[in-house]
Amino acid sequence: MFRDDIVLIAVINRQRDLIAARDSGWYRLPVARAPRWIAVDYVAFYLSRAFGEQNGAVRYYARCTGHELWRRRDLLPDEPDHPRADQLYYRLALAPLCAKQPPILNPTRRPVAFLYTTWERFNAAVCLADLSPERA
């Protein structure tokens, strides 16, 4: 871990996506909505309201070990008839998940899609506002 390593904060809206990250070591991003850079050092996960009391915070992160292009149908074979089954997704390969202690909270309920930060800011942050460079 180097202070200038790049961390992508990404939203997880479904339990199954967190399970895939935790148990299978991957996270998916639709190419059509992906952020500009996906070749990052770490991916951290902001949990949405689907996670009940854990929602509204970055609670997990993992080192990103690579990425590939996959069709949705190959990532989620149990959904072959999904309307986006043929669309391309980035499949980010992940090292084992780590818990972020303390979690990075979002007390102002700022909308989150994708955010970039450095390892130094990520490691020190306790709220989303701490991730921006103007706070450094």
38-91, pLDDT tens digit by residue? 999 999 999 998 999 999 999 999 999 999 999 999 999 999 999 999 999 999
Assess whether pLDDT exceeds 80 at residue 135. Answer: no
Q: Delineate the domains of the chain, giving CATH numbers in brackets.
A: 6-135 (2.30.130.30)
Reading the block at residue 75, the tokens are: 């990532």
> Positive or negative, the Cα torsion across 58, 60, 63, 66?
negative
Coil, strand or helix at 87: coil
112's tokens: 């989150």
**Would you say residue 27 has pLDDT above 60?**
yes
Q: How far is CA 79 from CA 25, 37, 48, in A?
A: 20, 28, 22
pLDDT at position 25 is 98
Residue 95 DSSP symbol: P
CA distance 80 to 45: 26
